[in-house]
A and B are shown apart, each in its own frame.
Chain A
Amino acid sequence: MDAELMSPQKSILILAIALSALVTGCRSPDIYYWGHYENLVYITYAKPDKATPELQVRVMEEDMHKAISANKPLPPGFRAHLGNLYYQLGKADLALQEFQKEKAQFPESAVLMDRLAGNLTKK
């Protein structure tokens, strides 16, 4: 390739490819399908008026479908958060299901999930 013929656009493109190779080199593919879980946690605090349980549940239910399509597991905490949202909407039975699924997927969560499940009937 004649160096004089290389346009600025072309060098930018090459730089972009080099950068993306660098970035992907540092990061192997994720274990989990994250969807919007962490962003929802963020707006729960940053924009509590907008992050209604209804909206969050809708987004998380969509994420669950996408995780199935992507053939990836849901991340730690996802189902616990969804269960808590169901609880806030008065759907204790759905909340219990999610806490049980979190516990089944991650036995490390057993103590906390049993506690959250226990609180469903207490309140």
Chain B
Amino acid sequence: MSARFLSLGLLIAALALTGCVMQKPCDYTNFLAHPPRSIVVLPPLNQSTDIKGTYGYLSTVTRPIAEMGFYVFPVAEVDQLMKENGLPTAGEMHAVSLGKIGEIIGADSVLYVTLRNYGSKYQVLSSVTTVTADAKLVDVKSGLTLWEGTATAQQSSGDSGGGVIGALVTAAVTQVVNSATDPAHDVSSLANFQLFTPKKYGLLHGCYFPKEKE
């Protein structure tokens, strides 16, 4: 029995470590020199084949960044404003100059995200849902890159209903949402949690992060 517990412990440790390995710590020199208070997240460039990726991802990005202490501009309203100003696609939005973003939105920094994977691959007995996001935070005034990161989150159909991944996914299943059946949306939450929050790789804390939690 003790051997079994040891193996359980090892399993837990292994689960905890995946997602943090194989990345070199981030260089925070620019971030510390130009600490942003606010971040505008543009709709991501979607390199996956799933057109739902853009908005499945965009609706899971605010929470982890805001909980790190930054003001995150309302993603849907920013998207709408851009569209009303003749920019219908994420590609066109990403091409807007920093000066223009500063003038129209008043953001300190812009987060540019590229979705490399978004969606499920179906195999014989199960499916694997993968979300991979590359993100770059750019200072509006100086144009310097403040931070860069990448994260992949995966969930196989066998994981549903619990486990570490199930517990980390924050999307609440509610009456309003349960008609939406895109598993990659939930996996996006996990990818974003892994992308922005780990020490040494994620964002530093912003001005709204409580001092007592530092």
Query: Do A and B make up one complex?
Result: yes
Least CB distance, B119 to chain A, in whole angstroms: 14
For this complex, into which size category does the number of interface residues on chain A fall? Answer: 35 or more
In angstroms, Cα B12 to Cα A19, docked, is 7
Residues of chain B within 8 A of A11, CB atoms compared = 4-5, 8
**Chain B residues, Cβ within 8 Å of A39:** 59, 171-172, 174, 176-177
Nearest CB to that of B59 among chain A residues?
Answer: A42
- 0/1 per residue, B143-170, Cβ < 8 Å to A? 0000000000000000000011001100
Query: Are the C-beta atoms of B59 and A109 separated by less than 8 Å?
Result: no
Set A30, A77, A115: member contacting B62, Cβ < 8 A: A77
CB <8 Å contact, A108 and B63: no
Q: List 30 A-B contacts (CB under 8 A).
A: A3-B2, A11-B4, A11-B5, A15-B8, A18-B9, A23-B168, A26-B16, A26-B168, A31-B66, A31-B69, A32-B67, A38-B63, A39-B171, A41-B76, A42-B59, A42-B185, A43-B177, A44-B76, A45-B58, A47-B179, A51-B176, A75-B63, A77-B74, A80-B77, A81-B74, A106-B71, A109-B71, A109-B106, A110-B106, A116-B77
